[in-house]
Amino acid sequence: MVAVERLVGAYNTWATNGASEVPEWLKDMRSGAIARFESLGFPNMKQEAWRFTSVAPIAEGSFEQAKPPARIPTLEEIRPFLLLEAGYRLVFVDGFFQRALSTPFFDDVQSLAHVVTHRQDLVRQHLGKYAATEDRPFSALNTAFVNDGAFVHVPAKATIAEPIQLLFLASGKPAVTHPRNLVVLDREARASIVETYASLSHGAYWTNSVTEIVVGEAARVDYHRVQRESPGAYHVAATQTHQGRDSTVNLHMVAFGAALARHDIGAVLAGPGGRLILNGLYLLASQQHADHHTTIDHAADHCESHEYFNGVLDDKSRGVFTGRIIVRPGAQKTDSKQTNNNLLLSTDAHADSQPQLEIYADDVKCTHGSTVGPLDPRALFYLRSRGIGEHEAQQLLTYGFAAEILGRMEVAPLRAQLDGIVRGRLAEQ
């Protein structure tokens, strides 16, 4: 309760002082959201959606609202976190847009704070329309503090050739940031995007982000997300997609940072013929805890969704995966497939995997499966019998677990970069 009051107090101060120069509708949205957060409070483990994850360290931590960074990092300092040299990019430090480090594109690849006034109609049409806040205290809190983040708009039939990078860096100070991102692809538009969370130094800070991705008719987005926060960080996030008729969304989620991470991923297939790939990888070690809570909502007929999540868990880490699939009445000819495989590299590591299928249509194909277990001894022997040493064989099999996910990324330069990052991460173990 204390924590909730403190956050509401911080909101009140901020709303009266620093955040007044925004349109009325946004002020209303914020004040509605803080009221929502106040009534919901922090989630607890008695709630079904939070059974395996305690947010006590976040609720009990005293995170200040982030201030603009005292020192802006140089391009050299942020280069290790940039996956590609070319292409548009938006860089944020402690939640604040860094124009000098960014390469925006007019009002289409821009800071959200800028377009809130410059493209008010478009932002107002979409912002907050997809990410639920009714039963999501963290999303409500993010919406209350909505201020800046990344905005990407791809007009009808346009293709942005190079991947767009959205980079959120933490200075490491014990503060909370609420990045808010909005991605809108009009009909037949195409883009690939990578959203990265990382830290310039070790520290215990809290990121509470929300990303809404709206994909118009026959549009396609390849969306990558890399969560490589500092080992002491808390990362709470919601990603929500909404796709129209005949559109394609490929979501690739790679998570290996933070002490405690919770990512709610929601996808709504709102028009017939939509195709979704939700492809995720979590690599955890020491005492890391990562919870992926996914909901795929087949709201229209003739849609396909393929969900694959692999987890590699070492030491005393814990991975939680919930895969909820909803097939609405009338969503006939739905083709939905879900797998969650967890590799336990230590006897102290633990994985929870729970599929939740809610099917209200009869002419559908839905399959799901999950595994939790150590490296396959048969595979290990097979590799060793070919001359590959035991340790190398273990590493190869572990990498294979990750590579299965990476292999589904179709944007070659990003796949190659993420492959390198994942290899680096596995080599640390």
Closest CA to 231 of 172, 280, 175, 275: 172
Minimum CB distance to another protein, residue 275 (Å): 21
DSSP 250-290: EEEEEE---SEEEEEEEEEE-STT-EEEEEEEEEE-TT-EE
C-alpha R_g of the chain: 21
Closest CA to 172 of 93, 272, 246, 116: 93
Instruction: Select 9 or 420, whichever has its Cβ closest to another protein.
Output: 420
Tokens at residue 247, please? 């559109």
Minimum CB distance to another protein, residue 337 (Å): 15
Show Cβ contacts of residue 221 under 8 Å, excluding neighbours closer than 6 positions. 183, 185, 190, 191, 192, 193, 213, 215, 248, 249, 250
Minimum CB distance to another protein, residue 376 (Å): 8
Minimum CB distance to another protein, residue 375 (Å): 11
Instruction: Select 80 or 424, whichever has its Cβ closest to another protein.
Output: 424
DSSP 300-322: SSS-EEEEEEEEEE-TT-EEEEE
Q: Which residues sit at the interface with another protein, rule CB under 8 A?
A: 376-379, 381-390, 392-393, 396-397, 399-404, 407
Q: Phi and psi dihedrals of 363, rounded to 5?
A: -100, 70
Instruction: Select 22 or 416, whichever has its Cβ closest to another protein.
Output: 416
Minimum CB distance to another protein, residue 182 (Å): 34
Q: 136 in helix, strand or coil?
A: coil
Instruction: Select 150 or 402, whichever has its Cβ closest to another protein.
Output: 402
Minimum CB distance to another protein, residue 386 (Å): 4
Instruction: Select 80 or 387, whichever has its Cβ closest to another protein.
Output: 387
Instruction: Select 29 or 383, whichever has its Cβ closest to another protein.
Output: 383
With left for phi above 0 and alpha for psi between -120 and 50, is residue 315 left, alpha or beta? Answer: left
